[in-house]
Amino acid sequence: MIARRAEFASEPTFKYLLGRLLNIRSEEWPRLVFLYGMALVALIGIGWGETIVVAAFLNQAGVQFLPWAFVISAVASIGALFVYTGFADHVPNDKLFIWILGISGVGIAVGLVLLSLNLAVGAYLLLYLILSVPLADVYNVHWATYVNGYYDTRAAKRVIPVLSTSTRVAGIVAGLTMPLLNRAFPPSATITIWLVSLGVMAALIWLMPRVLKDKRAAGPGGMAALTPRVERPSYFRNLQQGYEYIAASPFLRSLALATLLATIWLALINYQTSAILLDRLRSTVAIANFVGILSAIANLIALPIQLFLLSRLIGRVGLGNASLVFPAGAVAVSGGLLVAPGLLTASLGYVARTVFRTTFRSPIESLLYNAVPLRVKGRTRAFVGGLVTPIGAILGGLLLFSPVVHSSVALGVLVGAVSLGVLASALVVRKRYARALIAMLEQEDYSSLLSEGASALTAADPATLNWLKDRLAASTSPELTIFTARIISEVGGKEAIAILRNAAQTASDTRVRAAIIDIFASTGAQADQVRDLYGEFLSDADANVRLSALAGLAQTTGAVDGRFKDQAIQLLDDPNIEVRAAATSLLLGSIDAATRRVAAATLEGMLAQADPHARAQGLRLLGQTGDLSAIGRLMPFLSDPVDEARLEAVLAIEVLVQGDLTERIRRGKAAILEAG
């Protein structure tokens, strides 16, 4: 009967180690594999398509058509996001995603037809637009919506950083294999492979809810659809309110200006580097091969930075200072292109506007919006992303129509001047960010901080964390202390562990100690420091604290057979019956047979006690064993003279029968599928 409690030990060692390293729970793996697989397939295909289309566009049309591409793409982006917003609240997320991929696929097919008719310039311009609008602007917005539909805030904090690595992995794979594709296929065949990859992603989106039997994200809003629906303002109303908020806030005005200048610089540097690449490499295949390998190397370097270094950088120097990394890099690259224009500096410019930007600018810019209340954040980001960014691209494109582009020196001076503007605006943002953040925190508005569940970057800003730490230390109210501790756990990352552990150790109120342990347990944290915290409070004087510590240990894989086993065994004699029951449940899951026998003996002792509450606790544990043979042990208690014990016996039998029936149905379905 007890043996079934140890079945988790059969989980593959590699899966266990990977899950602990990435902080992914075992039940989350199937969906994560689906999402990661569909993202990887699509992004590799998009990487191949983008590399060959941009190279062919430069070779067939020339850089003189790039400004037209920038302007047309930006105008189309404004319209596409407007149309998308109209459908986003009314069409299921998975169906809308398939529509987006389908429209993109139709556009690619039309491009292939134009290529077959020798209309190369029109074909590559259309394919460039497909890459820039539905497969960039709209895709990125809806991918976040689609993924968030499957996860709550806490789960998203663990899963999204893992999913975000698919971009880097896809960039590495697509880049390294680009020369092989060019050797084996003509550009039209590579574009066809890109089209097929979108079809595969659409098929996986359709298949996932049917395989996982979970349609939470099928409806508009995903998990958010479980809450009462509120009528949302129109897209134009969002833009209008976003403008009003930005106009009233010095911080948001400087942030919008920084975004505008950065977008203009990206258009200019794109043109400048593309002209050099075309001049030095000359052919579609040569450009595609060079850019592919360059992108692969850059993504290979960026992957560990994204996973391990960026959050540490923010924690060390602060978010405001970290926001200067991209502007400083832009100035350095622009200066290099002005002083020594060539293939090397053009390569640095290409990396700066692609991988360097998505590594250092995009995630940090998202975190900067944490300095504004949640009611403001969504609308300001809608205004900046839906209007300011496209306007910046349009202005950049219009600047490239001027005679200045005919002189490489004059163009270099223009690019350098704009990069200095990007740096200057970033310095203003850094200064005003601290003021805006403190103003928001002093108003006790933490909604913006707690909403960042789906960020690809889990980093603690020292300014925010220090303010919350001081507030935690100064609190004299248990309720305020618990609330502040929860916020620290949400936004503090790994730094939160030491802060909350110290708060629990110094708390005289047992409710605070138990609540802080419960906060850690609810996050599913697996760090050794968290395990040490649980172990430390197993000997707390208060039973509720001991109970919380046991619950926390139950959430950490393998803890029952670690160094806390002896402490848990001692709790089998705890004077509190709930603590004894929790310790028994924990030890019944041990992989050590002797430990399970000790726990089983304690369980039998509970069933034999005269105290009906103790018997009820023992009966509940029997139901948790998952072994149908326990029903025979439960049957005599159906006639127990006390209602509490009889009720627990009935519930335990129900749990055991339902669990076995579910398993039989699952095996039956599997057998039918195999036979078919």
The answer to whether the beta carbons of residues 269 and 349 sit under 8 Å apart is yes
- Domain 235-452 indexed as CATH 1.20.120.1200: no
The answer to whether the beta carbons of residues 350 and 273 sit under 8 Å apart is yes
Most confident option among 17-26, 224-233, 443-452, 480-489: 480-489
**How far is it, in rounded angstroms, from Cα 287 to Cα 278?**
7
- For residue 453, is pLDDT > 80? no
**How far is it, in rounded angstroms, from Cα 506 to Cα 75?**
58
Instruction: Write down the domain spans for the chain.
Output: 235-452, 609-676
**How many CA within 13 A on the CB side of residue 572?**
22
- For residue 393, is pLDDT > 50? yes
- SS3 of 89, please? coil
- For residue 280, is pLDDT > 50? yes
The model's pLDDT over 635-661, given as tens digits with 9 standing for 90+, comes to 888 889 999 989 988 888 888 777 655
pLDDT at 242: 86
* The two structure tokens encoding residue 333: 């690259």
Q: What is the mean pLDDT of residues 308-330?
A: 88
Q: For residue 629, name the pLDDT band (cuts at 50, 70, 90).
A: confident
Angle at alpha carbon of residue 418, lines to 416 and 421, rounded to 5°: 115
- SS3 of 197, please? helix
pTM of the model: 0.78
The answer to whether the beta carbons of residues 50 and 170 sit under 8 Å apart is no
pLDDT at 557: 60
Q: For residue 39, name the pLDDT band (cuts at 50, 70, 90).
A: very high
Q: Give me the helices (H) in 475-527, please.
A: 478-491, 495-506, 510-523
Cβ burial 346-364 (10 Å sphere, 16+ → b, else e): bbbbbbbbbbbbbbbbebb
- The answer for 246, left when phi > 0, alpha when psi is -120 to 50, beta otherwise, is alpha
**Containing H/E element for 536?**
helix 528-536
**Angle between helical axes of 284-304 and 343-351 (0-180°, round to 10):** 50
The answer to whether the beta carbons of residues 580 and 573 sit under 8 Å apart is yes
What HEC string does 263-300 produce? HHHHHHHHHHHHHHHHHHHCCHHHHHHHHHHHHHHHHH
The answer to whether the beta carbons of residues 236 and 418 sit under 8 Å apart is no
pLDDT at 339: 96
Q: For residue 228, name the pLDDT band (cuts at 50, 70, 90).
A: very low
The model's pLDDT over 473-510, given as tens digits with 9 standing for 90+, comes to 888 888 888 888 888 887 676 778 888 889 999 999 99
Query: What's the mean pLDDT when you consider all of the chain?
Result: 85
- For residue 48, is pLDDT > 90? yes
Q: Give me the helices (H) in 282-404, please.
A: 284-304, 310-317, 319-322, 325-339, 343-351, 362-368, 374-383, 389-399
Residue among 482, 470, 550, 475 at smallest CA distance from 516: 482
Residue type at position 589 = G
pLDDT at 673: 44
The model's pLDDT over 361-380, given as tens digits with 9 standing for 90+, comes to 988 888 888 788 777 787 88
From the CA atom positions of the chain, what is the Rg in Å?
A: 29
- Give the 3-state secondary structure percentages of the chain, helix then strand then coil, rounded to 5: 85, 0, 15
Q: What is the mean pLDDT of residues 606-625?
A: 88
* The two structure tokens encoding residue 206: 């359709």
pLDDT at 437: 77
Residue among 638, 673, 424, 445 at smallest CA distance from 467: 445
pLDDT at 4: 41
pLDDT at 568: 87
- The answer for 618, left when phi > 0, alpha when psi is -120 to 50, beta otherwise, is alpha
User: Cα 198 from chain centroid?
Assistant: 22
Q: For residue 52, name the pLDDT band (cuts at 50, 70, 90).
A: very high
User: Cα 258 from chain centroid?
Assistant: 25
- What does DSSP assign to residue 352? I
Q: What is the mean pLDDT of residues 179-188?
A: 96
Angle at alpha carbon of residue 19, lines to 13 and 22, rounded to 5°: 140
**Looking at beta carbons, which pairs linking 632-637 to residues 24 or more positions away fall under 8 Å?**
633/1, 633/607, 637/607
Q: Which residue has the higher pLDDT, 589 or 169?
A: 169
The rounded percent of the chain whose pLDDT value lies above 70 is 86
- For residue 675, is pLDDT > 60? no
Q: Which of 64-73, 174-183, 450-459, 507-516 has the lowest mean pLDDT?
A: 450-459
pLDDT at 350: 97
**How far is it, in rounded angstroms, from Cα 434 to Cα 530?**
31
- For residue 342, is pLDDT > 60? yes
pLDDT at 16: 59
Residue among 517, 457, 433 at smallest CA distance from 482: 517
The answer to whether the beta carbons of residues 329 and 360 sit under 8 Å apart is yes
- For residue 276, is pLDDT > 90? yes
- Domain 609-676 indexed as CATH 1.20.1250: no
* The two structure tokens encoding residue 361: 């600018």
* The two structure tokens encoding residue 556: 């950490």
**How far is it, in rounded angstroms, from Cα 108 to Cα 129?**
10
- SS3 of 87, please? helix
Q: For residue 663, name the pLDDT band (cuts at 50, 70, 90).
A: low
Give the Cβ contact number of residue 334 at 10 Å: 29
* The two structure tokens encoding residue 523: 């996050």
At residue 329, what are phi and psi to the nearest 5 degrees? -65, -40
- DSSP symbols for 587-624: HHT-S-HHHHHHHHHHHHHHHT-S-HHHHHHHHHHHHH
The model's pLDDT over 468-480, given as tens digits with 9 standing for 90+, comes to 888 888 888 888 8
Q: For residue 227, name the pLDDT band (cuts at 50, 70, 90).
A: very low
What is the C-alpha end-to-end distance of the chain, expressed in Å?
A: 35
- The answer for 444, left when phi > 0, alpha when psi is -120 to 50, beta otherwise, is left
**Angle between helical axes of 374-383 and 250-281 (0-180°, round to 10):** 40
The model's pLDDT over 130-146, given as tens digits with 9 standing for 90+, comes to 999 999 999 999 998 89
